[in-house]
Chains A and B, each alone.
Chain A
Amino acid sequence: MNPGGEDPLGAVSPDGGAGELVLEVADLTVGFPTDDGLVQAVRGVSYRLRRGEVLGIVGESGSGKSVTSLAVMGLLPKNARVTGSVRFRDQELIGARDEALTKIRGRHVSMIFQDPMTSLNPVYSVGFQIAEAVRAHHDVSKEAALDRAVELLEIVRIPNPRERLPNYPHELSGGMRQRVVIAIAIANDPDVIIADEPTTALDVTVQAQIMVALDSAKEETGAAMVLITHDLGVIAGQADRVMVMYAGKLVESGTAEDVFYTPRMPYTLGLLGSLPRLDRTAERLTPIPGAPPSLVNMPPGCPFTPRCPLAQPVCDETEPPLEPTTGPGHTAACHFSDRLVDTRPDELYAWSVTDTTALAEFVAETEEPSS
């Protein structure tokens, strides 16, 4: 753990003066005691979120993305050890009483979970579950809450919304259920929506529809959004800023352009190299060798060292802090981030299949902003 080792403002976008600051996470750490020792799931994460902004958090499973957002919501299991600060507007949420948190949850900060098949209660109708969310924060009649539920289902583009109200979750498809979850999330015009891998559990064909529903939900509420995913493709078109997490820590942070076009951390570069692209046929992927480290009894040094082609002895001794790279808003945690200037994934990662032309084409394309 290395709490003091980074700039607390490192994750802040310099040009983010557009909206008011709604959520501020500072030096958040989360640990779980287990038989084998303390699992350090999150190790000092900081970010700020302004109204209307979309923040993408990327990382492999186990990198601490979901735990971070559950910590923000105060929804971690009781045995979790949380330190640091999470502020919604002027209110500190870490260590707040449950009564105070229930006034924030669902009203100001709401959440969309990964698996729509399990996140709705099977024994209550869809209408009941949406109306319940409305009535948790507004003193309205059941009828009025159900009317609001119809409105919400319209926003997330469910056809014949009124007829869906008496349906039970098992009567709906996965995509429909995830729309219901989104409807619940926006029921009270929240200021922040945290979407934790909202499309991962769904069919590819449905994923795009859910992203559209999520978009219109965001537009309707004007909320800021934290979009968590392991899929860079989902983030690409959506996020204003992107944070990359590895082993419970932020390893790179910046605008979407910064991170996608000028990555300064070998892991980010590796992620980009392993991104499948459906519009290419000849292209081969560049895998990152190895697997993420165990989060128990972590040794000192950079956790990416065992998989990193740039690793030097210093990497085993000190964990690099997040430091500004291409600009003050673009930070990366790597001792050798300057070596990544103009480096392609295939140059960095040894691979067996040589299809460099396709990759070069891909990298070349990513390097020239075409939007």
Chain B
Amino acid sequence: MLAFAIRRIAASIPILLISSFVVFLLASLSGNPLDELLFRNPPPPPEVIALETERLRLDEPLLERYWLWLTGLFTGDFGPSVHSTLDIGAELTRRFIVTMRLIALAMLVAVVLAVVVGVVSAVKQYSKTDYTATFLGFLFLAMPSFWLAILLKQAGIDFNDAVGQQVIYTIGASSVIEPDGFWAKVADTAGHMVLPTISLALISYAAWSRYQRASMLEVMDSDYVRLARAKGLSNRRVMVRHALRNALIPLTTVTALDLAAIISGAVVTETVFQWRGMGDLLLTAIRDNDTYVVMAWLLVTATVVILFNLIADLLYAVLDPRIRYA
């Protein structure tokens, strides 16, 4: 399995290379990083512009720039930002932790919720519970994530007003002045994470619970579940050991495939709650034509998605003995 993992990683390197080249071309061509400087009033002296052009490697041909960027990666250099003081690597790391914390928690909540609701809906197919869960699923599926997030944010504000105390935070990933002590910090972070996690989780939950329900129904109608019943196993054992165990397998692939979409969702959610996370970094960089920040951002997320899919594939092999990677 280790050999398989190494081979898969090796195989994804060309994908990353090609995709980074295409994206580099698009990013470089889609805006001039000097725009902000050129349209400044009063115009800066030409020497400043010349220096900036050189610093941003704009005097080099495009291929040369890509090569410089690519080789720089090996020394941990993500290239120059339009903001001369910004260390892209350090900034990205900091924000990566903030955002991944949100994504990991939201995915966990969404998976647990989706499995529970999907299984209950399947077992009680066509019951009131099933219809309610189905309708809610469809509703969340049809809801723009930011619309839901804005409503949740307002609900949080109303809740705080009603309690007369700031219990749930609606702005930022943590308080500007962080409280002292480990537990106080954890409580502060948790208070900030509640609403973004809920709004991000609900969107993924909707699709996954529908998927889990369908997969559970299919397994429940299978011959091996019928045989498990015919063996005289208790209903509970049939449902957990035979039906659920098998119905969980496809969900690993689905969650992995959806990771890229969840990162997109996190960008929106963070914007609503004004987090200074990956989302803000990306959107600011796009507006500033900050090519190297956009490149670093896409490289990191693509790597995460590829690694996560690899983990899902390995997990799949663990869960399903028919799949063997040699």
Contacts and interface: CB of A to CB of B under 8 A. Distances in A.
A120 B224 contact: yes
Interface stretch (B80-88, B230-238, B264-272, B288-296): B230-238
B230 A73 contact: yes
B231 A136 contact: yes
B319 A123 contact: yes
Nearest to A122: B322
A111 B230 contact: yes
B216 to A, nearest CB: 14
Contacts of A107: 232
B230 A123 contact: no
Contact of A106 (B226, B230, B249, B321): B230
A319 B119 CA distance: 45
A168 B224 contact: no
Nearest to B222: A118
B160 interface: no
A78 B124 CA distance: 10
A120 B235 CA distance: 17
Given A122-B246, A123-B246, A75 B232 contact: no
A137 B232 contact: yes
Given A122-B321, A170-B322, A105 B224 contact: no
A168 B322 contact: yes
B246 A121 contact: yes
Interface in A130-173: 132-133, 136-137, 168, 170
Contacts of A70: 226
B297 to A, nearest CB: 39
B224 A122 contact: yes
B65 interface: no
Nearest to B227: A119
Contacts of B322: 122, 168, 170
B276 interface: no
A132 B227 CA distance: 12
A98 interface: yes
A181 interface: yes
Contacts of B59: none
B101 interface: no
B224 A121 contact: yes
B320 interface: yes
A288 to B, nearest CB: 30
A188 B232 CA distance: 10
A109 to B, nearest CB: 9
Contacts of A120: 224, 227
A105 B230 CA distance: 5
B232 to A, nearest CB: 3
B186 to A, nearest CB: 38
A211 to B, nearest CB: 20
B95 interface: no
A115 interface: yes
A77 B249 CA distance: 24
Nearest to A194: B230
Contacts of B237: 136
A215 to B, nearest CB: 21
A70 to B, nearest CB: 8
B231 A133 contact: yes
A102 B224 contact: no
Contact of A170 (B222, B232, B245, B321): B321
B321 to A, nearest CB: 5
A103 interface: yes
Interface in B194-250: 221-235, 237, 242, 245-246, 249
B105 to A, nearest CB: 29
Given A119-B223, A121-B242, A122-B246, A110 B320 contact: no
Interface in A72-116: 73, 75, 77-78, 98-99, 102-107, 110-111, 113, 115
B35 to A, nearest CB: 57
Contact of A123 (B223, B229, B231, B320): B320
Contacts of B321: 122-123, 168, 170
A106 B232 contact: yes
Contacts of A73: 229-230
B224 A132 contact: no
Nearest to B221: A77
Contacts of B235: 98, 102
B228 A102 contact: no
Nearest to B238: A102
B231 A181 contact: no
A123 B237 CA distance: 15
Contacts of A78: 125
Contacts of B230: 73, 75, 105-106, 110-111, 113
Given A105-B232, A106-B230, 12 more contacts: A73-B230, A75-B229, A102-B233, A102-B234, A121-B225, A121-B227, A122-B224, A123-B249, A123-B320, A132-B231, A168-B322, A170-B321
Q: Across chains A and B, which 8 residue pairs bring their CB atoms closest together, nearest first?
A: A106-B232, A105-B232, A106-B231, A118-B223, A121-B224, A119-B223, A111-B230, A133-B231
23 contacts: A70-B226, A73-B230, A75-B226, A75-B230, A98-B235, A104-B232, A106-B232, A111-B227, A113-B226, A119-B227, A121-B224, A123-B245, A123-B246, A123-B249, A123-B319, A123-B321, A136-B237, A137-B232, A168-B321, A170-B322, A181-B227, A187-B231, A188-B232
